Every structure is written in C-alpha cells, then in structure tokens.
Amino acid sequence: MEDWRALLEAEKTLDTGVYTKHDLLIVRGQGAKVWDAEGNEYIDCVGGYGVANLGHGNPEVVEAVKRQAETLMAMPQTLPTPMRGEFYRTLTALLPPELNRVFPVNSGTEANEAALKFARAHTGRKKFVAAMRGFSGRTMGSLSVTWEPKYREPFLPLVEPVEFIPYNDVEALKRAVDEETAALILEPVQGEGGVRPATKEFLQAAREITWEKGALLILDEIQTGMGRTGRRFAFEHYGIVPDILTLAKAIGGGVPLGVAVMREEIARSMPKGGHGTTFGGNPLAMAAGVAALRYLERTRLWERAAELGPWFMEKLREIPSPKIREVRGLGLMVGLELKEKAAPYIARLEKEHRVLTLQAGPTVIRFLPPLVIQKEDLERVVEAVRAVLT
C-alpha cells in the first residue's frame, strides 16, 4: 500500500491519544486472519473486541450490506422500513417468548444506556446494583455501573445511587438488591474484568432476588452473546431469562449495532419520546443484523465454540509454565491469567508470532477469536503462547 507509514503516522498524531496504539496498519481481514500493510498475516484473537464472531468479511453479511446500501441506508424509526421488521422478527424468534420488544441502537454502551433508562421508567426507582470488575461501557450512564475506578472516578458525579457487590457472592446480592433497586446489571461472564464466568448459583439467585424485590435483571451479553460462550446466548447455560437483554458487538456482523430486548410491559413503561436515537435501527445495520443472525443460526457456530473452547483451554493448561496462574472461560471466551503483567507477553505474541490477543485487566491475556477459526490456527496460538511463556 502506497504511503501506509504516513497514514499510520496521521492516525497516531491526529488522534486524541486516548488509545495505546499498536505499531502496525491493518488493511484487510478474512475469517480469523488479518493482514497488515506489509502483507504480514496475523491470527486474530482480538476479533474486533468480540465483534468478528462470524469471521472478518463474512460473505453473507457483505452481500446483505451491499444490497442494502444500494437500496436504502438511513431512515429514522418513525418511518417503518422492511429490514427493521425483519430484524425484530429474526432476533425475537431466537429468544424466549417473553423477550419480545426490541430497542435498536448503535453500540454496546448505548444498549446499556437504554436498558438503564427503561428500568427506571418501569420501576419508578433510582438505584442500580452492579458487580465489582463489571464492565458496561464508557458513556455516563453505562460508566456509572462500570466498576473500574480509573474509568469512573475522573468523571464523577455519575448516575447515583449505584452499589457494587463482589461477583459470584450470593449473600452480597441479597443485601444489596432491595425495594429501592430499579435493576441489577450483570455480565454472565465478565469480559473486561478478567474473563470470569458467573456461577450457576449466582445468576439463579440474581434472577430470584430481583423477582422477589420487584427489581429488573439486566443481562449484558454484549460480549457473551452471538455464540461466543458455546450457546447462542450465555443465559442459556444458566436456565434463567433476564428482564432486559443487551446485545451488541457481533450482532451486526461487523456493522455497528446494539439492542436492548425486553418484556412488553417494560417497553410500555417508557413515555412516548422518552428515549431515542437517529441512527439506531438504520436499514444498513438491520440488514447486517439479519444476515448475521441467519448465518449464526444456519451454521450453529455456538456449537463450534462449545467444542473448540474447552479443547483450547485444555491445551493452554498443559503449557508447563510457572508464570500461569489460571486458564478459564466459557466457550471461545478464554482468559489466561498470569502471575505477572500480561502486556509484555501480548506484545511478544504479536511481534514474534503474529498472534493478536487482548488484555483483560493487568494480568490476563484474553482470546476472542472469530468462531470460524480453524483448529490448526488455534494450535498455532497455543504454540505461540507456549513459546513466550516457557
């Protein structure tokens, strides 16, 4: 690519500097691989932070986006358009019957913003309960229920009151969720917080206690949805149904799309015009979402995650390195916790082995490969991890 170094430089220098950027320019992706401007091939276990479940350049999503771009790209929600109905129908058909009202947005944090507002509108209560190490997004509302103090504290005051409880602690849950609580918001597997799956006991107690107290249970499946954990949606592992389910990342097949899906009476509690978004539910994202959901359904990619995930974790556990504290995860959402900082190893995986991974907290290497990844490529990832850790 002509002048790629100048483009990389422009991105780095004209950017706000909020992100620590890698020193490479990614120009193309296909399946579980991406290529930089010099033609180097990488195995992509970043997976667009969990967007690329169906693989980069998924042909069915690409075709749907092309077709829709030629037909109609923008149309606000006051003007119905065919792809919106199609998307709502396709999504709700895959969910339990009570989750039958859809509010479309453009990102994960917006899906949680919507969920929090619907919860307040429905219950008439103010308080939220969230989990320590939980991550819900960076806009002011979602940030209020995100735990990490370094993300939250520079921006106080945020939405109040919020009470944080230790994840997987049923007794703390019983103490925190009360008659003042609008909603409890949880990730079924904490992603950003270090890849920590919920226990069955914890999520089932969360369901029962919120019912008992008249609070709503919001499950944030922005990272765990769309087959990632070995089921279509992670709540299926736990035998519970939330009051509001938030999805984003992979649901648009690569196009920005988020949704809050809820029970009908919750939807009805929001006053007309009480929430809104210009781009949310745009035909382009809706067409991409329909194609992504249909592809997931036809290929049953969650079964691949259920098969490859445990195998991959077992292979990582076999690496004889005293630096490894634990390997954990659910499906193809995998974290390898070290006894030391993860960043230098993540850098070496990229530079020495052309394997892209991401961090989850200071000591965890996180793997979110596209679910279409070949087993041979995961074997190469294991070998690369072995090489940097032993």
Ligand X SMILES: Cc1ncc(COP(=O)(O)O)c(C=O)c1O
Q: Is 223 annotated as a binding residue?
A: yes
**Active-site residue, selected from the candidate residues 44, 128, 249, 367:** 249
Q: Is 191 in the site for ligand X (CB under 6 A)?
A: yes
Backbone φ, ψ for residue 128 (5° rounding): -120, 145
The least CB distance from residue 108 to ligand X, in Å, is 2
Sheet containing 216-220: which strands, arranged edge to edge? 101-105, 258-262, 244-247, 216-220, 181-186, 127-131, 162-165
Among this protein's residues, is 128 annotated catalytic? no
Q: DSSP assignment of 69-81, as one string?
A: HHH-----TTS--
Site string for ligand X, 356-385 (x = CB under 6 A): ------------------------------
Q: Which is nearer to ligand X, 252 or 309 (CB)?
A: 252
Given a contact cutoff of 8 angstroms between Cβ atoms, the answer to whether 144 and 151 are in contact is: no
Q: Which tokens belong to 261?
A: 């899906």
Of all residues in the shown chain, the one whose CB is closest to ligand X is 108
Q: Is 47 in the site for ligand X (CB under 6 A)?
A: no
The least CB distance from residue 361 to ligand X, in Å, is 13
Q: Rounded to an integer, what distance in angstroms lies between the CA atom of residue 46 and that of residue 8?
A: 20
Which span sits near ligand X by CB under 6 A: 186-194, 209-217, 338-346, 369-377?
186-194
Q: Is 299 annotated as a binding residue?
A: no
Q: Is 222 annotated as a binding residue?
A: yes
**Active-site residue, selected from the candidate residues 36, 44, 220, 243:** 220
- From candidates 108, 197, 252, 280, binder to ligand X by CB under 6 A: 108
Q: Is 277 annotated as a binding residue?
A: yes
Q: Is 192 in the site for ligand X (CB under 6 A)?
A: yes
Burial of 253 (0-12, 13-18, 19+ CB in 10 A): buried
Which span sits near ligand X by CB under 6 A: 19-27, 36-44, 130-138, 302-310?
130-138
Q: Is 235 in the site for ligand X (CB under 6 A)?
A: no
- From candidates 36, 44, 187, 243, binder to ligand X by CB under 6 A: 187
Among this protein's residues, is 249 annotated catalytic? yes
The least CB distance from residue 190 to ligand X, in Å, is 8
The least CB distance from residue 109 to ligand X, in Å, is 3
E strands, the chain, are 26-30, 33-36, 41-44, 101-105, 127-131, 162-165, 181-186, 189-190, 196-197, 216-220, 244-247, 258-262, 324-330, 333-338, 355-356, 358-359, 364-367
Name residues whose C-beta falls within 8 Å of residue 365's C-beta, 6 or more positions apart in sequence.
335, 336, 338, 342, 345, 346, 349, 357, 358, 359, 385
The least CB distance from residue 55 to ligand X, in Å, is 19
Q: Rounded to an integer, what distance in angstroms lies between the CA atom of residue 149 and that of residue 193?
A: 12
Q: Is 109 annotated as a binding residue?
A: yes
Among this protein's residues, is 3 annotated catalytic? no
Using CB under 6 A, count the residues that bind ligand X: 15
Q: Is 223 in the site for ligand X (CB under 6 A)?
A: yes
Q: Which is nearer to ligand X, 223 or 363 (CB)?
A: 223
Q: Which tokens belong to 298?
A: 């036809």
For 179, left (φ over 0), alpha (ψ -120 to 50), or beta?
Answer: alpha
The least CB distance from residue 320 to ligand X, in Å, is 32
Given a contact cutoff of 8 angstroms between Cβ atoms, the answer to whether 164 and 132 are in contact is: yes
Given a contact cutoff of 8 angstroms between Cβ atoms, the answer to whether 273 and 264 are in contact is: no
Q: Rounded to an integer, what distance in angstroms lies between the CA atom of residue 119 and that of residue 216?
A: 7
Q: Is 58 in the site for ligand X (CB under 6 A)?
A: no
Q: Is 212 annotated as a binding residue?
A: no
Which residues here bind ligand X, judged by CB under 6 A?
A: 49, 107-109, 112, 135-137, 187, 191-192, 220, 222-223, 248
Catalytic residues: 135, 220, 249
